[in-house]
């Protein structure tokens, strides 16, 4: 609780000695922005890549299953509805990046900064806990998702060699450990400004496996000559729409973080609105295509993941490529989310332990193939390594954590995606109570709250079912 409370408006960053120097020398506008930080270079395209990387995870391949639960009428309608809500709320939040003047006002670097500037300190505690707890859970879910794709590669090749009758079981723990080791290395990259290329690669990978999933779905529809599915779907779980708005929820969680990488002019809000619209169109298109075409190909028997659930078995090499793309994408997406936690914790520690050499001292290390030296910081090394180890161990203990993640998604969707952006905007624009706009905001908020509660109930039911067959450190899929 005290950690969340400590988020303040002071500009502090542990990322590098060069950035610390920037805080003390703001004389050159070509090198530094108005807040003393190194000149931001982000564009519409890099911001869009960050958002797409965060939103289009491997969960997009489970949309056929979600559509199967809701049917041909409700499935597409729900996807479009939440796409609109997310795009609208993101636009509201973009207007609140700077307090006061939209061009020269004080920057709100993080989501919690925007809450503090507009709503006061009390709500920062709640927002911070929900936001970072949600991000922590997403990182665990990505660890599990990566291991599933790695296992799918093994099983796909096994089926090809031994036939589909062989169970081809393989433990997930070695793959999770492998993923954790790679993330420990990647997590030492100072901040999001230094990993823009990782988001571009990850976004490319998301298009790769999504396109493969779409291609396999289309080929199956052509081969069978039939469009499967029903108008009302099969009511298996009330949490199906979690698969649909899980991505939009992620978009708002990390929204201001990529926004803080944008160069100006034009204003950050103007650029971010373009990036938001572009990324929403792209992600919604992929959501609709993957959900609808996957459902049309497989019907009510759609698995939780089109590629790892073996809705398709051939060509096996194409499935392998798709699953490799999923792994690469999740490696990047993990960093996009975890960097928000890293920045928050390191900012707090630097503020409270600024006299400690373990926190402030950086050792210059020459890295082969990189022109400039890397600033090795002891606290960053230990904290980020421990964070990755913790998420990996929890993923190994609870391999069914995706159901738990469903609960977290339902709990986090309303406050992070709807309530806080709406309240921040109302306070920022000083919208009076009982005006038409104020009333419409309240109606939308109540509706989304009801959906979140119903989805949370459905996810709890899923966790209860998993607990009946639960064994720690053992794969349940």
CA distances from residue 220 to 65, 152, 263, 308 in whole angstroms, order as listed: 16, 20, 46, 17
* Consecutive H or E run containing 374: strand 374-377
Among candidate residues 101, 136, 131, 350, the one with its CA nearest the CA of residue 257? 131
What mean pLDDT value characterizes the chain?
76
User: How far apart, in whole angstroms, are the C-alpha atoms of residue 62 and residue 138?
Assistant: 16
Tell me the pLDDT tens digit for each residue of 153-190: 888 778 777 766 666 777 888 999 999 999 999 888 87
pLDDT average, residue stretch 365-388: 81
pTM for the predicted model, two decimal places: 0.73
User: How far apart, in whole angstroms, are the C-alpha atoms of residue 309 and residue 148?
Assistant: 9
On the question of a cis peptide bond just before residue 265, with omega within 30 degrees of 0, the verdict is yes
Among candidate residues 151, 455, 471, 431, the one with its CA nearest the CA of residue 310? 151
372 pLDDT above the threshold of 80: no
The CATH architecture that domain 2-467 belongs to is: Orthogonal Bundle (1.10)
* Consecutive H or E run containing 209: helix 196-224
21 pLDDT above the threshold of 50: no
User: How far apart, in whole angstroms, are the C-alpha atoms of residue 238 and residue 226?
Assistant: 28
User: Alpha-carbon Rg of the chain, whole angstroms?
Assistant: 22
CA distances from residue 409 to 22, 142, 325, 459 in whole angstroms, order as listed: 38, 14, 24, 9
* Consecutive H or E run containing 95: none
Amino acid 469: pLDDT: 72
Tell me the pLDDT tens digit for each residue of 378-395: 888 899 999 999 999 998
What six digits make up the tokens of 200? 């571009």
- DSSP lists the bridge partners of residue 400 as none
Amino acid 370: pLDDT: 67
CA distances from residue 442 to 50, 333, 422 in whole angstroms, order as listed: 30, 33, 9
2 pLDDT above the threshold of 60: no
User: How far apart, in whole angstroms, are the C-alpha atoms of residue 216 and residue 201?
Assistant: 23
What's the gap between Cα 274 and its chain centre? 19
Domain boundaries, the chain: 2-467
What six digits make up the tokens of 90? 């993101």
On the question of a cis peptide bond just before residue 6, with omega within 30 degrees of 0, the verdict is no
Tell me the pLDDT tens digit for each residue of 105-130: 788 777 778 888 888 778 888 888 88
Instruction: Quote helix, strand, coil % in the chain, to nearest 5.
Output: 70, 5, 25
pLDDT average, residue stretch 360-368: 75
Supply φ then ψ for residue 239, to 5 degrees: -90, 10
- In three-state secondary structure terms, 362 is strand
Packing angle between helix 44-55 and helix 240-253, nearest 10 degrees?
150
What six digits make up the tokens of 133? 């707890």
Amino acid 51: pLDDT: 77
Amino acid 190: pLDDT: 77
CA angle, residues 104, 109, 110, in degrees to nearest 5? 145
């Amino acid at each position: 609780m005290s950690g969340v409370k400590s988020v303040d408006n002071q500009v502090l960053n542990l990322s590098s000695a060069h950035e610390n120097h920037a805080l003390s020398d703001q004389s050159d506008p070509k090198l530094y922005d108005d807040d003393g930080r190194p000149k931001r270079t982000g564009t519409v395209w890099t911001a869009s890549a960050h958002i797409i990387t965060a939103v289009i995870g491997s969960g997009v391949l489970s949309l056929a299953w979600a559509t199967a639960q809701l049917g041909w009428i409700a499935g597409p309608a729900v996807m479009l509805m939440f796409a609109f809500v997310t795009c609208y709320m993101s636009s509201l939040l973009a207007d609140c990046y700077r307090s006061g003047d939209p061009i020269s006002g004080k920057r709100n670097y993080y989501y919690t900064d925007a809450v503090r500037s507009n709503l006061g300190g009390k709500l920062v505690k709640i927002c911070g806990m929900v936001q970072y707890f949600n991000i922590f859970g997403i990182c665990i879910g990505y660890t599990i998702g990566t291991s599933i794709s790695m296992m799918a590669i093994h099983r796909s090749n096994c089926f090809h060699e031994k036939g589909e009758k062989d169970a081809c079981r393989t433990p997930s723990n070695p793959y999770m450990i492998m993923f954790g080791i790679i993330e420990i290395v990647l997590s030492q990259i100072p901040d999001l400004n230094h990993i823009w290329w990782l988001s571009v690669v990850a976004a490319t990978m998301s298009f790769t496996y999504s396109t493969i999933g779409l291609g396999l779905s289309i080929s199956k529809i052509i081969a069978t000559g039939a469009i499967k599915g029903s108008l009302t779907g099969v009511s298996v779980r009330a949490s199906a729409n979690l698969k649909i708005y899980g991505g939009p929820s992620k978009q708002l969680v990390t929204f201001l973080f990529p926004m803080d990488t944008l160069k100006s002019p034009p204003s950050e809000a103007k650029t971010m609105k373009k990036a938001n619209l572009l990324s929403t169109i792209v992600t919604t298109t992929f959501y609709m295509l993957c959900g609808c075409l996957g459902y049309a190909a497989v019907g009510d028997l759609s698995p939780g993941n089109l590629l790892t659930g073996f809705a398709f078995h051939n060509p096996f090499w194409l499935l392998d490529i798709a699953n490799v793309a999923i792994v690469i994408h999740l490696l990047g997406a993990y960093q996009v989310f975890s960097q928000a936690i890293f920045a928050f914790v390191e900012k707090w520690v630097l503020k409270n332990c600024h006299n400690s050499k373990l926190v402030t001292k950086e050792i210059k290390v020459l890295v082969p193939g990189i022109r400039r030296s890397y600033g090795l910081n002891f606290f960053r090394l230990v904290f980020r390594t421990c964070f990755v180890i913790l998420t990996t161990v929890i993923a190994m203990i609870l391999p069914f954590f995706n159901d738990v993640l469903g609960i977290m998604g339902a709990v986090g969707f309303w406050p992070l995606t709807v309530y806080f952006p709406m309240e921040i905007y109302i306070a920022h624009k000083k919208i009076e109570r009982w005006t038409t706009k104020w009333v419409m905001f309240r109606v939308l908020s109540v509706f989304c709250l009801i959906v979140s509660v119903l989805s949370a109930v459905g996810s709890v039911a899923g966790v209860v079912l998993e607990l009946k067959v639960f064994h720690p450190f053992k794969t349940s899929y």
